[in-house]
Amino acid sequence: MSLVLHASNVNKNAFKALIAAEYSGVKVELVPNFEMGVSNKTPEFIKMNPIGKVPVLETPDGPVFESNAIARYVARLKGDAILYGSSLIEYARVEQWIDFASLEVDTNISRWLYPRLGFGQPYLPPAEEASISALKRALDALNKHLASNTYLVGHSITLADIIMTCNLFLGFSRILTKSFTSEFPHVERYFWTMVNQPNFRKIIGEVKQAESIPPVQSTKKPSQLKETAKNKVKDEPKKEVKKEPAKPKVEEPVEEEEAPKPKPKNPLDLLPPSKMILDEWKRLYSNTKTNFREVAIKGFWDMYDAEGYSLWFCDYKYNDENTVSFVTLNKVSGFLQRMDLARKYAFGKMLVIGSGPPFKVKGLWLFRGQDVPQFVLDECYDMELYDWRKVDINDEAQKERVNQMIEDAEPFEGEALLDAKCFK
Ligand SMILES: N[C@@H](CCC(=O)N[C@@H](CS)C(=O)NCC(=O)O)C(=O)O
């Protein structure tokens, strides 16, 4: 018998086991035609989980409920337990972060979100304030940890990352807007890196950050509200009306479905045509193996169109946090991955500089148009981790700096290069 997971395919608690299954090579199937509020109320379901909540995993040895327990079972099934670290202390830390993800992060996101959506606890402003400040405290601690760690434990993804990311997913997709999360830049980097890993993407799909905080919904249906008004007796003693917690129709907030809108044209496509063909420059860069200065750099300036394109230097704002080489390199790789959306309009070089920590990260970018494109600023949160300065190409010193960045000149500004990465 294979493992059958009872849940719908939009349930972040079910994602935990499904992603763990991808990493550990375990086959888990979602039960077909699961209907929230119906399938989990049948006597057969209640036999598997007496509280009637999802997810539940059916195993050859009987059912398991509670999503973290299910994810642990799946992660350990194959015996090698790659998702649990490689020592007793790592195992303990995986458990530590699983508890933190559940009790400090998920609890506070849920206490903020669900009352607004009209389920669970009634909406009470002081309770909301308390959950927001508890959530900020948790995210601040997580942010500090992630400033010098790519993952929660050790040097690869563990079950703790899977559970933390699924919990953050609920927040990022429903209530944690950019203006809230930008206070926690390392959490942002971590979250977007995780959800873009193929094993996460396969299960969660594309993630979009909430653009606004959901408005407070009434916990009563319009018909119930009418009833309340009708039945209100004049001399009824004044007492707080106890709100019936509304039964969730959906097990989890689901991305609201929007009618597909025609894709607006990127404003950069509306600029006057340029004589510079970005792909030609990228080809020249990639194909030049010798005489780089004479061939590629000279070719670059020959084709450069200062009206259709602009050049930008960027400097990482938090270089003193770059104390671990591979974490710094991962940060830069993540940035370049997230710049994928600008491939048609940009070319970049990112240098990781220094022979020891703290490493400096500096870059050079060529963008279509005269500004850093707005859609890049909006969609790639890494942009705000850097100071941006437009290159003045009439200044020979700046031009020479551009050349050195394109050709990975070493030493660069007197220092060795740890790495040079190219976005093309
Ligand atoms: N601690 C549980 C929470 C399960 C839970 O709250 N499930 C929700 C959907 S995400 C549910 O089944 N709600 C239905 C209900 O409350 O009757 C877990 O992690 O599995």
CA distance 411 to 416: 5
Cα of 60 to ligand 1 centre, how many Å? 23
CA distance 159 to 94: 7
Query: ∠ at Cα 222 (221, 227), nearest 5°?
Result: 95
The reported pLDDT for the residue numbered 236 is 36
Cα of 128 to ligand 1 centre, how many Å? 21
CA distance 253 to 404: 50
User: In which domain, by residue range, is 407 found?
Assistant: 269-423
pTM: 0.63
Cα of 51 to ligand 1 centre, how many Å? 9
Cα of 66 to ligand 1 centre, how many Å? 8
Same domain flag for 312 and 377 = yes
Question: Cα 29 from chain centroid?
Answer: 25
- Tens digits of residue pLDDT in 5-57: 999 999 999 999 999 999 999 999 999 999 999 999 999 999 999 999 999 99
**CB contact at 8 A, 204 and 15:** yes
The reported pLDDT for the residue numbered 246 is 39
* Ligand 1 site, residue 110, Cβ cutoff 6 A: no
The reported pLDDT for the residue numbered 265 is 85
* Ligand 1 site, residue 52, Cβ cutoff 6 A: yes
Residues in the chain: 424
Most informative mutation of 42, 53, 102, 162 for ligand 1 (most atoms within 8 A of CB): 53
If you take atom 16 of ligand 1, which residue's CA is the nearest one?
53
Is residue 280 situated within a structural domain? Answer: yes
The reported pLDDT for the residue numbered 257 is 38
* Ligand 1 site, residue 66, Cβ cutoff 6 A: yes
Is residue 103 situated within a structural domain? Answer: yes
Domain boundary among 76, 93, 120: 76
* Ligand 1 site, residue 53, Cβ cutoff 6 A: yes
The reported pLDDT for the residue numbered 1 is 59
Same domain flag for 51 and 107 = no
**Ligand 1 atom nearest to 252, measured from its CA:** 10
Same domain flag for 385 and 277 = yes
**CB contact at 8 A, 148 and 321:** yes
Same domain flag for 69 and 93 = no
**CB contact at 8 A, 56 and 45:** yes
The reported pLDDT for the residue numbered 40 is 96
Same domain flag for 137 and 273 = no
Q: Which residue stretches of the chain have pLDDT < 50?
A: 220-251, 253-258
Is residue 50 situated within a structural domain? Answer: yes
Domain boundary among 18, 50, 76: 76
The domain that holds 166 is classified in CATH as 1.20.1050.10
Tokens of 11: 């349930």
* Ligand 1 site, residue 252, Cβ cutoff 6 A: yes
Cα of 13 to ligand 1 centre, how many Å? 8
Cα of 333 to ligand 1 centre, how many Å? 37
Reduce the DSSP state of residue 196 to 3 states and report it.
coil
Cα of 106 to ligand 1 centre, how many Å? 12
The reported pLDDT for the residue numbered 261 is 61
